[in-house]
Structure 1
Amino acid sequence: MKKTLSLTLSVLFMLAILAGCGGGSSEEPAAPDTAAENPAANDTNQEPASEDPAPSNSTGSLQDGLYYAEGEFDEKSGWKEIVALKVEGGNIVSANWNGLHKDGGLDKKTSSEKGIYGMKEKSGAQAEWHEQAIKMEEYLVANQSVNSLVLNDEGRTDAVSGVSIHIDGFTELVDKALAAGPVEAGPYKDGTYYAEADDFDAKSGWKETVTVTVINGKITAVSWNGLHKDGGTDKVTRSKDGEYGMKAAGAQAEWHEQAYQAEQYLIEKQDPQAIVYNEEDGKTDAISGVSIHVDGFVELAAKALEGAK
């Protein structure tokens, strides 16, 4: 009896052991809790990743200083666009969108302000070029970027009220200037400066004028011209039209062509005093191709720049 009971208990004990070994679930092990391993994956307050990359000139991120970029001369119009920026406290605080002409003379803004460019008169535009350029400058300062502007195939935008001109050159030059980094400032104060002779020349009837444009402290554009006591068109225009006729009188080049060379020399040297001339006849050997009197030009350029110091 005792033997039977002992055998029965042994069998029951073995069955219990077998049941314990074979009772595991046939399901795959639970996957690890990725939320526990990576808390950010389970953070419902986390902001979604931005689909658009941050602009290169994010607010407050720019290096303080002056920035500058220029394009190429347009074959049709003759203008080359330029952009100058000023950054303070990491932000763009001023912008200057302007243009220089391949033939020299007045910058585009000054030409527009004087009515020479004449968009309203010549093409029926809603505003002159300089007025629309100022609106784009104000947009850039207010938004600190041009990256959100949508342009059509013509390089125009509907995003800025009152602006119908092509702005693709402006947006490209803003990005180009910022990518290039700050540039060294020149010694002058930015602005457009003008001077004219005190009197009309008793012999020729002409009174010389000089206009100098300074951007980022540097002489960027120079216009040397003349007004006649009897009125009519200016000296450059008459020279271009063949009315002044220096070559016909035996000169190597027309007056406006030589004036252009003098203008470009001043832009290169950045100082009127760098143009050395003969005190007796007012001529210079410093500028190739220039045989006209330059003393009046030098004196008026220096006089104009007095306001830029």
Structure 2
Amino acid sequence: MMGSRLAGVLETLSGRQRGLRSGLLTRAAKIALVGAAYYVAARLSLHLALIQKNVTPLWPPTGIAVVAFLLLGPEVWPGVALAAFFVNEPISASWLAAAGTAVGNTLAPLVAAMFLVRVGFRKEIDRLRDGIAIVVAALSSMLISASVGVGVLVLSGAIHASAFLGAWAVWWTGDAMGVLVVAPFLLIALQLRLPARIPWGRLAELTVLLLVIAAVSLAVSRTHLGLMFLVLPLLGWAAWRFQQAGSAPAAMLIAGTVTWAAARRWGVFGGGTLFARMLTLQAFNATVALTSCFFAALVTERMRAQQDLERAAAELEARVRSGTLELSAANGWDSARAS
């Protein structure tokens, strides 16, 4: 009897140990995946740097980190922190400066994700309140990364204190745009489920629309005529026809193309001060991000409301028809009794 009990206890402990080992391996794999995605996106994004080598007008890794925290939980923070450190270490004054920057780059998206969870944010971004929530999260939490990052640059001697405000503005808007442009696209893409029967017509329409948006974005970015507003009707069409599945990739295409143009000083970004160029770029990117997010969410809400109204009308019609049939049957039975 004692032997069988001991064997049962040992088997239970062995099962728990295997489960713990499996859980640790799963967590390590998630951390490695998040870290790799952050690092690759960061290395590519540094080609857009405008101040020193690490202040960019669009920082997609922030959006990647927010999505990772939303989908995988806050426990993957070591992946973000390590990737941010290894990205910043070669371009920082010291390893201590890189570590300080990594702290800000990790804390800001973590706070954004915690805020979104707290307010009941839906990852489908199919309500207007979801669009408002992600905007508030992006604009407020990225104050952390900008303040920490630029503060580190000043304290380490990488930039003069007089350049703090300009660098801070570029850093803050770059991180915020990374959330507003990249996070919705990743959330929609990672949750996308193809139907059993693929609607090839709509898929072809979306593909052609995105190609047209990319071509128009490139064309207006290279001209000095100030025609960037021409992409907005196309963005509205994508949001109206395909909601977030169309507006999110369209917004990322537009913002990415225009940001690349600003970094290369094409078109309207060819002259003027850094502040003037950044004001033009970030005002445009903010317009694109907000139009995409809000319009798509509004269209989705209206469509859902219309479907609910049609469903309620159908149920009411069915109840009226059932009540009419019952009343007719009752009248027929009374007539039969009277006769």
On whether the aligned pair clears a TM of 0.5, the verdict is no
- Larger of the two Rg values belongs to structure: 1
TM-score, structure 2 as length reference: 0.26
TM-score, normalised relative to structure 1: 0.28
Higher-helix-fraction structure = 2
Higher strand residue share: 1
